[in-house]
Amino acid sequence: MKKRVVITGLGVVAPNGVGVADFTNALKQGKSGITFHQDLKDLNFSCQIGGIPQISKDKISVYFTDLQLRGFNSSGILYGCMAGIDAWKDAGFDMNPESKLDYDTGLIFGTGTSGVEKFREAIYSLDEGNVRRLGSTVVLQTMASGVSAYLSGMLGLGNQVTTNSSACTTGTEALLMGYDRIINGKTKRMLVGSCSDHGPYIWGGFDAMRVMTYKHNENPEEGSRPMSATATGFVPGSGAGAMVIESLDSALERGAKIYAEVLGGEINSGGQRQGGTLTAPNPEAVQRCIEKAIENSGITSNQVQVINGHLTATSKDSLEIENWSKALNRTGNDFPYINSTKSMIGHCLAAAGAIECVASVIQLKEQFVAPNINCSDLHPEIESTVKPDKIPTKAIDVNFDVLAKASFGFGDVNACVVFRKFIKIS
Amino acid sequence: MTKDELIPKLKTIIAPYIQDEEAFKNLTEETDFVNDLKINSANLVDIILDIEDEFDIRLENEDMEKMLDVKSAMDIINAKLER
């Protein structure tokens, strides 16, 4: 029989809440983490709003030593390490520099790009002929696997330690890659997640593509409007999410608290065929990804009660709803509850999948569906497929067992995971 | 610069990088940066940069290779300062 895999630790650094407790409250209250940023305005960005986690210097020094913080300028690594350490401790482990090397835990922590501000700093110095004065940490902070390198050393992890990168699918993909490794008996536990830097240098390329909204600079909290008729593009975000996943045997053996079970999932690509491009999804592949995820989870599509969508607040939201509807073969009042965490935190890019997986697990554990805070004017194309009640604008308490979460990314890549409320006997 | 002048300055510079407090407290001319103070060898380049800033000198790759303990660091700094 296939091994069962459960989630035993969560960590999150999100624009509307840092730490699982704050983030849970924010999700229940529909709290927005989107604010106006003067630096974006000064740099002539069309979109001058974004989501940045609020973290004090004191808080940072709980996670990093003074030496680690010398010349440190990588917000993604900061967020990733904080979320990763929190998840690790939440799972009942400690962080001790003298700990015995743990060969039974691996790490897959994804990102899109690392330390973009550090990279900028280095390039300026280098172009002035000062390569010899860059210092010792430019490589560590700007290599894609920087976050994994920092985190694995802080925790002493001895199984596979790596970084994946698949645009906005990254975090969900990291979870499923870790899941596969446990299922295949290569390890007992994996710390999985993803992170993304904040700021103009990471967001600028999207602004240039005109895919971010420019209509809400005066009212930032209303800017991220997934599924809304007046959605005009996404709001950029940043942060990190992390989960400790492990075999059920391992979790039971050490008496760990169990948040939920990972039933299964699917990762695929649309190959930029049949309507898919570098930036748009191939609908057939998206539907197949969802269908296979359900099949691999050993359930049927009518068992899905809640969906946490990718839903970024671009013109592709209607297409995503259509894809879910076709893949599940459900419409109208029969359609599951669906929400987009992005209405509160924006699109956290490479961190999106992990933060939203954490949000999904919290909703499942606490039995509520978080609100779509800016969706009072549901898009008519979506309304023709889904009964508006299924797209709550206020948090609602719902007893449910199964949640499906999907993430889609540039490059036409897809990932879908199915979580179930933990029940000891299968 | 005399030993008594130089050692306190050096101690301030290397303090953030040391991993052995005891060895640091008992620092002498003979103290080795990596073996005694357990400084991560990657951080030696950061120490070189901090020394350059403090004394307004420039240290070459050859200097850095020789700068393994307190005594060699002092010798090299003094040689540069005399120039």
* Closest residue in chain B to residue A65, using alpha carbons only: B16
The pair of structure tokens assigned to A333 is 């009042």
Mean pLDDT of A319-328: 98
pLDDT single digits (tens) A210-233? 999 999 999 999 999 999 999 999
CATH 1.10.1200.10 for domain B3-81, yes or no, is yes
* Residue type, position A297, single letter: S
Bridge partners of residue A397, in order along the sequence: A368
Tell me the residue ranges of DSSP E strands in A113-238: 161-162, 189-196
Would the CB atoms of A66 and B16 count as touching at under 8 Å?
yes
Would the CB atoms of A71 and B49 count as touching at under 8 Å?
no
Minimal C-alpha gap between A135 and chain B (Å): 5
Which residue is associated with the tokens 């290397």?
A: B14
For testing contact with chain B, the best of A98, A136, A140, A143 (most B CBs within 10 A): A136
* Residue type, position B73, single letter: A
**Whose CA is closest to A238, among A33, A24, A48, A51?**
A51
Contacts of B42 in chain A (CB under 8 A): 136
Would the CB atoms of A135 and B49 count as touching at under 8 Å?
yes
pLDDT single digits (tens) A234-254? 999 999 999 999 999 999 999
Q: Is the pLDDT at A374 greater than 90, yes or no?
A: yes
- CA atoms of A360 and A369, how far apart (whole Å): 9
Please give the interface size between A and B, counted as residue pairs whose CB atoms are below 8 Å apart.
16
- CA atoms of A298 and A264, how far apart (whole Å): 8
| Whole-Å CA distances, B49 to A74, A135, A368, B59, B70 | 21, 7, 54, 8, 16
Minimal C-alpha gap between A56 and chain B (Å): 22
Residues of A with CB under 8 A from a CB of B: 66-67, 70-71, 133, 135-136
Residue A424: pLDDT band with limits 50, 70, 90: confident
Query: Smallest Cβ distance to B42: which of A66, A133, A136?
Result: A136
Q: Contact A282/A271 with Cβ under 8 angstroms?
A: yes
Cβ-in-10-Å burial (0-12, 13-18, 19+) of B26 comes to exposed
pLDDT for A92 equals 97
- CA atoms of A68 and A332, how far apart (whole Å): 53
Percent of chain A whose pLDDT exceeds 90 = 98
Mean pLDDT taken over chain A: 97
Contacts of B46 in chain A (CB under 8 A): 70-71, 135-136
**Whose CA is closest to A390, among A342, A349, A348, A333?**
A333
DSSP notation for A132-153: GGS-S-HHHHHSTTHHHHHHHH
Tell me B72's DSSP state: H
For testing contact with chain B, the best of A64, A67, A140, A150 (most B CBs within 10 A): A67
Q: Vertex A207, ends A202 and A212: CA angle to 5°?
A: 110
pLDDT single digits (tens) A86-131? 999 999 999 998 899 999 999 999 999 999 999 999 999 999 999 9
CB atoms within 10 A of CB A379: 22
Contacts of B52 in chain A (CB under 8 A): 133
pLDDT single digits (tens) B3-52? 899 999 999 999 999 999 999 999 999 999 999 999 999 999 999 999 99
Q: Is the pLDDT at A421 greater than 70, yes or no?
A: yes
Residue A268: pLDDT band with limits 50, 70, 90: very high
- CA atoms of A408 and A247, how far apart (whole Å): 27
pLDDT for B1 equals 87
Predicted model pTM: 0.96
Q: Is the pLDDT at A1 greater than 80, yes or no?
A: no
pLDDT single digits (tens) A165-178? 999 999 999 999 99
Bridge partners of residue A320, in order along the sequence: none
Q: Is the pLDDT at A426 greater than 80, yes or no?
A: no
Backbone angles phi, psi at B82, to 5 degrees: -75, -20
Domain ranges, ordered by start, for chain B? 3-81
Helix axes A352-366, A20-29, angle to 10 degrees: 80
Q: Is the pLDDT at B70 greater than 80, yes or no?
A: yes
